[in-house]
Amino acid sequence: MSHDSGPLRTSLEGLERLVSARGAEAWSPERWNQLRVLAVGGMQRHDLPDGTRIRWGRLALAALPGKYPEGPSQGTVIESIRVRAYLIREFGADDADPARDLSALLADAMRNLGMSRETAARPAGEWRGLPRERMLRLRLVKNTLSALRPVLPLLEDGDFPLDGSGRPWHAGRCPV
């Protein structure tokens, strides 16, 4: 049976082996997305042990390059941020685990924005009058920052100031 046909019906261990097996890189983006969806579901199952759920989260992250074969994209980064933020919120930050490294997550988010924190924090009240390109840029900011919401309560004062005030950005104070 081809690895790219039929539903993914195997254990977590089997899926982890499949992803690292020779030939997995030839899977279709749709197949990788199917794996990502399945893995996110496993990551969110509260009836599983924490370690198992973390492994499902890592599998979801491992599926992203296959889902986006054209290379790293904003979609890849935002989906990665969502999974990593969920893992950090549920299981805590861990600098030794790339999937749960809070500092790396925040750095990746800011790099994806491609602008300074201060620029990202400026009010966007007049967005309807902006050129299309600027509107799309604001949407990227919103999508990136929204993906970080699960980890905002974990940030200590000053960890992630976006508005230039030195105050941290909290869930109730969205800058865009």
pLDDT tens for each residue of 48-74:
999 999 999 999 999 999 998 887 778
pLDDT in tens, 61-107: 999 999 988 877 788 889 999 999 999 999 999 999 999 999 999 88
Average pLDDT over the chain, rounded to an integer: 81
Query: What confidence score (pLDDT) does residue 131 get?
Result: 83
Say if residue 123's pLDDT is above 60: no
In terms of pTM, does the model score above 0.75? Answer: yes
- Is residue 24 pLDDT above 90, yes or no? no
| Residue owning tokens 């893995």 | 39
d(CA 68, CA 156): 34
Give the model's pLDDT for residue 160: 53
Q: Which residue type sits at 74? A: Q
Is it the case that residue 121 has pLDDT exceeding 50?
A: yes
